[in-house]
Amino acid sequence: MDDLVNTVKQHLDSIEGVTKVVVAYSGGVDSHVLLHACSILRQQLKPLFFSAVYIDHGLHDDSVHWSEHCKKITAELGFPFHSIQVNAQDKHGDGPEQAARVARYAALSTFIDKHSVLLTAQHEDDQAETLMLQLLRGAGVDGLASMPSFNQFNAGFISRPLLRVSKQHILHYAKNKGLKWVEDSSNYDVSYDRNFLRQEVIPLIQSRWPAFSKTTARSASHCAEASKVLAELSKELLSDSVGHELSIQLLAGNKEETQRLMIREWLKTQGVRLPSKKILQQIQSMLKIDSNKPTLIAWADHQVRLFDNRLFYTPKTEQLILHKVKWCGEVLTLPNLLGILTRTTAVGEGIDKALWDSSTTSVRYRLGGERIKLVKRSGSKALKKLLNEEKIFPWVRDSIPLIYLDDHLVAVANLWLDERFLAKEGEQGYVIEWDHPDWRIK
């Protein structure tokens, strides 16, 4: 068995619980060699189901022709084939290469469940390029670790079995097997950073240091090991953190370097691509701010807020605003993620049923200045004060549903009722429930 094929086999043998193998197939020589190796192994690994996926980024005029080529090759090799078109526009200023990468992996993730592994064809020279790019971007240990040979991916796994195989070995295999592949002319466009390194910089370095790819791959492996140790350390430090929030007290008392390590690991647990050093320092500066004054740091699609001595991570979304809507019937489905309001009949509880039925009931959002009179509390209370007392997140307060009978505020969701509109003992009332599982308010 060829060394390259054996390398792929060893990777597949080392993965437990996998029944499906998805090959990311671009039609280029690297992925064609990987696919061909899998076609040989398929006879030996019969419990595994193999398939191939082509991602069309729509960035090249020939991408449709490449898809047809991939379809033809996979049919010849007997692989089920899927071609997926994605939108690879650069929406966040990360550059076209990163935008294409994000779109590609997002599409590939849809094929991966807990019993699947995605095989990609990055090789030793790709690893060297990645490390150089990360170095030039000023990346830390995580970035310099470059690409792992094996990792979690979606619900399953991703494996890069050729990561210690040179490009020269891959080309030798392809020519020896008589393989035919597509050539992407954009690979020679040196306006792209990776291509500039590949075509201009790395050949010059290799002319002086021929083992460049091997030694840099070794450096990446050292960084990956250091990154793993730091991640394990930070997980221990974060063992008392809860979900999307991070206690300021948990960070306090640690050195600034350790604080940054903890914040980075916390963001990784939220599935966030690590922010720049500038953003990280801005987040860290929030530790010195009065937490009673809500503070926001936003970048790309992410937000970190300070409130009640805790940092909160939330995806960046449009503010959920509830415009005035009439409430007719037992159930009202609110727009966006605001959930569902229901009313149920009870005796001596809730809002007076007769009063409700004789009024126009509407649900509105907070405008400011609202007041409500609570049971056994003197006078009416400002809604703003009640929200503060209950420590409702400041960023959701304007979206909490308020229930009005005609123009009188009678309830704030299922949080507070106005005693002047309550059903008396022995009388029927409507009890309000608010279900909002996808929207946390405190």
Interval 155-165 mean pLDDT: 94
Q: Tokens for 293?
A: 């004054």
**Domain boundary, last residue among 224, 249, 283:** 224
Q: Tokens for 174?
A: 């392809």
Question: Are 166 and 42 in a shared domain?
Answer: yes
Q: Is 327 exposed, middle or buried (0-12, 13-18, 19+ CB in 10 A)?
A: buried
Interval 335-356 mean pLDDT: 90
Counted residue by residue, the chain has a size of 442
Q: Which residue has the higher pLDDT, 253 or 202?
A: 202
Q: What pLDDT is recorded for position 94?
A: 65
Residue 440 lies in a domain: no
- Residue 293: pLDDT over 70: no
Residue 234 lies in a domain: no
Which region among 97-111, 160-174, 382-396, 397-411 has the lowest average model confidence (pLDDT)? 97-111
Which residue, among 340, 317, 316, has the nearest Cα to 327 in the 3D structure? 340
Angle 98-99-103 from CA coordinates, rounded to 5°: 115
Confidence label for 98 from pLDDT (cuts 50, 70 and 90): confident
Confidence label for 320 from pLDDT (cuts 50, 70 and 90): low
Q: What pLDDT is recorded for position 328?
A: 86
Confidence label for 53 from pLDDT (cuts 50, 70 and 90): very high
Residue with tokens 């002086």: 208
d(CA 228, CA 351): 57
Q: Tokens for 196?
A: 């500039």
Residue with tokens 């007076």: 352
Q: What pLDDT is recorded for position 362?
A: 92
Question: Are 90 and 193 in a shared domain?
Answer: yes
The parent domain of residue 364 ranges over 325-435
d(CA 86, CA 104): 7
Binding residues for ATP: 26-31
Confidence label for 289 from pLDDT (cuts 50, 70 and 90): confident
Residue with tokens 């320092």: 281
Interval 268-286 mean pLDDT: 86
Question: Are 28 and 164 in a shared domain?
Answer: yes
Which region among 75-79, 170-174, 244-248 has the lowest average model confidence (pLDDT)? 244-248
Binding residues: 26-31
On whether the CB atoms of residues 82 and 53 are closer than 8 A, the answer is: yes
Q: Is 102 exposed, middle or buried (0-12, 13-18, 19+ CB in 10 A)?
A: middle
pTM over 0.85: no
Question: Are 121 and 155 in a shared domain?
Answer: yes
Q: Which residue has the higher pLDDT, 439 or 343?
A: 343
Q: What pLDDT is recorded for position 23?
A: 96
Question: Are 305 and 418 in a shared domain?
Answer: no
User: For 101-119, what is each residue's pLDDT tens digit?
Assistant: 888 998 999 999 999 999 9
Question: Are 220 and 244 in a shared domain?
Answer: no
d(CA 118, CA 32): 15
Distances from the Cα of 226 to the Cα of 59, 91, 117, 141, 178, angstroms = 37, 33, 25, 7, 41
Interval 356-384 mean pLDDT: 89
Q: What pLDDT is recorded for position 357?
A: 92
Write the DSSP assignment of 222-240 as a string of letters.
HHHHHHHHHHHHHHHHTTT
User: For 213-235, what is each residue's pLDDT tens digit?
Assistant: 999 989 999 999 998 898 888 88
Q: Tokens for 223?
A: 């960084």
Write the DSSP assignment of 272-332 as a string of letters.
PPPPPHHHHHHHHHGGGS-TTS-EEEEETTEEEEEETTEEEEEE---------EE--SSEE
Question: Are 249 and 329 in a shared domain?
Answer: no
- Residue 92: pLDDT over 70: no
Q: Tokens for 249?
A: 């007290």
